[in-house]
Amino acid sequence: MAVTKPGNMQVTHELDQVLDQALKLPAGARAALAGSLLDSLDDSVDEAAEESWHAEIQSRLSQLNTDGLQTMSWQEARRQILAD
């Protein structure tokens, strides 16, 4: 996968090398790397959004712990999503 940067072939080559190495990592490490890269792009924090996400996470955890909700694997969820 080539990353095009007009006028700077060295950057393109270096990015290709980094991508090749990253794609050899296990899935969990690739996910962590992707998260870190995305975090590095966002230098501002929307406090209201952070608070809303925190409240939503707490609500879902509470439901999971008290209502006996049944969980499923990502593979099963994806299968159900794609079946629709």
Quickly list DSSP for 34-84: HHHHHHHH-----HHHHHHHHHHHHHHHHHHHHS-PPP--HHHHHHHHHH-
Q: Tell me, yes or no, whether 52 and 79 share the same domain.
A: yes
Q: Does residue 30 belong to any structural domain of this protein?
A: yes
**CA separation, residue 57 to residues 23, 42, 53, 60 (Å):** 30, 21, 6, 5
CA distance 32 to 84: 30
Q: Does residue 29 belong to any structural domain of this protein?
A: yes
Mean pLDDT estimate for the chain: 86
Domain region containing 71: 47-83
Q: What pLDDT score was predicted for residue 36? A: 93
Q: What pLDDT score was predicted for residue 8? A: 61
Judged on CB neighbours under 10 Å (0-12, 13-18, 19+), 12 is: middle
Under the banding of pLDDT at 50, 70 and 90, the label for residue 11 is confident
**Tally of structural domains, the chain:** 2
Q: Does the pLDDT of residue 23 top 80, yes or no?
A: yes
Q: Tell me, yes or no, whether 16 and 35 share the same domain.
A: yes
pTM as predicted: 0.43
Q: Tell me, yes or no, whether 37 and 63 share the same domain.
A: no
Q: Tell me, yes or no, whether 78 and 51 share the same domain.
A: yes
Q: Tell me, yes or no, whether 76 and 61 share the same domain.
A: yes
Q: What pLDDT score was predicted for residue 58? A: 94
